[in-house]
Amino acid sequence: MSILVLNAGSSTLKYALLDDAAKTELVGGVVDWHGGDSTATLHFRTPGCEDSHTLVECSDYRGAVYEILHSLTANGIDKKISIVGHRIVHGGPVFNQPTLIDDHMREELEQISTLAPLHNPPALAAVEAARKVFPDAAHIAVFDTAFYSGLPMHEVLYPLPYQWFEEYGIRRYGFHGISHAYCAARAAEILGRQEDLSLRLVICHLGNGCSATAVRGEQPVATTMGFTPLDGLMMGTRSGSIDPGILLHLMQQHGMNGEHLDESLNRQSGLLGISGVSSDFREVEQSANAGHKRASLAIEMFASRIRSTIGAFTVTLGGIDALIFTAGIGEHSTTLRSRVCNGLQCLNLLLDEDKNRENDADSNIAQMDSAVRILLIRTREEQSIARAAQRIRPGSP
């Protein structure tokens, strides 16, 4: 028996197969369409073996799920898949727990799709495909927003007419919750402070999307992403928080419409917008090292916004016990971590540059005499989804 985890993006379907206890990843990979239509690359990795890449003919998620199944069989992995855990970005106001997907629940998911038009529709298509390919498995939705269901009301609301909250549901939801929840629990474990309600953490998830969350005793008390994943920190192609007056000005004085603003804020801003080079941090870093001025500026802005958020969240928490870096940039960029921490000495947060260069997952990279621990944690969203799904499968205690 095993658990399959599916994480659908607009042109990718990430997958992982875990053992029945949701502890060990047996296989992982991604089907990637690169924006093309009927041909995709299937990446397949198993621990201890070299990664493989195969071109496959498939034009939709159903085809992709079949290709994943074929590659498992072709590689001699014939474990029965009893649970499929689906990552769903937005659970709306309704879903704040992992939930078994049946026809009724599927319809409810469809209804909240308008809240996350970029993120939920691909996941729903993957749910549909996987239910056809694995009709006997329990399909369970695990939500990125669920971690924030207990966020205090003064953090949930925006200072807008209250009626917008009541009538249109305008409120903060918070995203990347699966990763933040995993990191909070892992940090408590590393620090030997599980179930310590006074533990104060600031977690920075820095990937293509970026967010920070302030956590007390494993519960979130503030987060940067909001009604949509566009709010908060500067990201690969997303702006993060900006003066909303800019949008009014562009609409009123330059005739920009919603579609144009959507494209600009979601896909043409952030690291890409400022550097003009790329949305990929590594490429921006390389250009900056080669003397590209706008690439350097983009990195300085990126770091500066993270630093200010850490400061603000430290005040929110009334102090900080550990700062956590995770996701692609957080886990791998020595220079970014260094830049962010340089300026936080006022919090008695002191980075050990040698440990920082070692890039060891799940390690403390602070100096011995730093009052604040600095942890580099490898996020394991697939494992978290599998565990959450396993806990609620029909028949589990």
Catalytic positions: 144
Q: Which is nearer to ligand ADP, 235 or 389 (CB)?
A: 235
In the complex, minimum distance from the CB of residue 378 to ligand ADP, in angstroms, rounded to a whole number: 10
CB 224 within 8 Å of CB 231: yes
CB of 101 to ligand ADP, least distance (A): 23
CB of 7 to ligand ADP, least distance (A): 9
Distance CA 219, CA 148 (A): 8
Half-sphere exposure of 186 (CA within 13 A, CB side): 24
The site for ligand ADP (CB under 6 A) is made up of 207-209, 236, 280-282, 327-329, 332-333
CB of 197 to ligand ADP, least distance (A): 30
Mention every residue, 6+ apart, whose C-beta is less than 8 A from residue 349.
320, 323, 341, 366, 370, 371, 372, 374
Ordered strands of the 363-364 beta sheet? 219-223, 210-216, 200-206, 322-326, 373-376, 363-364
What is the CB-side half-sphere exposure of residue 36 using CA atoms within 13 A? 12
Shorter beta-carbon distance to ligand ADP: residue 240 or 321: 240
Q: Min. distance of Cβ 102 from ligand ADP in angstroms?
A: 29
DSSP letters spanning 93-134: TT--S-EE--HHHHHHHHHHGGGSTTTHHHHHHHHHHHHHH-
Q: What are the start-end ranges of the H helices in the chain?
A: 61-74, 103-112, 120-133, 153-156, 162-168, 177-190, 244-254, 258-267, 270-275, 281-289, 293-317, 327-332, 334-341, 353-358, 381-392
Query: Nearest approach, Cβ of 168 to ligand ADP (angstroms)?
Result: 28
Instruction: Give the bridge partners for 127, in sequence order.
Output: none
| CA atoms lying within 13 Å on the CB side of residue 198 | 1
Neighbours of 70 (CB within 10 A): 13
**Tokens linked to 243:** 């003066």
Q: Between residues 323 and 372, which has the closer beta carbon with respect to ligand ADP?
A: 323
The residue count of the chain comes to 397
CB of 30 vs ligand ADP, minimal distance in Å: 10
Q: Which is nearer to ligand ADP, 188 or 206 (CB)?
A: 206
2 or 145: CB nearest ligand ADP: 145
Q: What distance in Å separates the CA atoms of residue 386 and residue 103, rounded to the nearest whole number?
A: 21
C-beta closer to ligand ADP: residue 98 or 270: 270
User: Of 42 and 317, which CB lies nearer to ligand ADP in the complex structure?
Assistant: 42
Among 301, 269, 305, which residue's Cα sits nearest to residue 288?
301
Helix or strand holding residue 40 (H, E): strand 39-45
